[in-house]
Amino acid sequence: MSTLPNGPLTAEEYLEIERKAEFKSEFYRGEMFAMSGGSRKHSRLSVRLNAFFEQHFEGRACENYNSDIRVLVEETGLYTYPDLSVVCGAPKFADAQVDTLTNPTLLVEVLSPSTEEYDRGTKVKLYRAIPSLRECLLVSQDAPEVELYRREMEDVWKIVVAKGPNASVELKSIDYTLRLWDLYRGVFAEPATSGEGNQ
């Protein structure tokens, strides 16, 4: 296993380490930050949204990616892994490895208890520095609730909150209405634990 260089890392050093690593890490201001593991609800919400978008984009010039694709905020130097990224039009990548997207149209984060404060604050602020970004969607995994940041003008963002199973939110960036009932259906049902059903 290689050791980290002394002092702050460059972006090139981070990418060299990250592309060989077994676990994902974000990068900001010379430091790598290991990403925490997910949960069942987090996974179900991410997978479901990806499925909705995949179906919606049939025949459209948009592509959706899961958290395997990094996003680079070029203005701030943040490398991160949103739960979902969408790009409408031709995708642009940071280099020939084609694993770091630079021009997302929509970013989605499913909030986790350990990162919710960071996601709602610093990360959304950093995301808003991406010129191509039209919307950023934050999805709660504890209740049927989403928070949408929508770019109205270059530096003007509107926040739209939708709460409750009967609510919906319009994702104008991709011409899609997300119904919270469809998104959260069955997510809060208690799963069977090991051994149940095998009596």
Tens-place pLDDT, residues 83-142: 999 999 999 999 999 999 999 999 999 998 777 777 777 899 999 999 999 999 999 999
CATH placement of domain 39-184: 3.90.1570.10
Q: Quote the tokens at residue 158.
A: 């509107």
Strands 100-101 and 70-73: parallel
177 forms bridges with which residues in the sheet?
170
Tally the C-alpha atoms within 13 A of residue 169's C-alpha that lie toward its C-beta: 24
Closest CA to 16 of 102, 123, 99: 99
- Digit-coded pLDDT (tens) for 46-94: 999 999 999 999 999 999 999 999 999 999 999 999 999 999 999 999 9
Q: Per-residue pLDDT averaged across 145-167, rounded?
A: 95
Give the separation between CA 138 and CA 149, rounded to whole angstroms. 8
Any idea how long the chain is?
199
Confidence at residue 189, expressed as pLDDT on a 0 to 100 scale: 82
Contact at 8 Å (CB) between 73 and 127? yes
pLDDT average, residue stretch 155-171:
96
What was the pLDDT predicted at 78? 96
Annotated domain spans of the chain: 1-35, 39-184
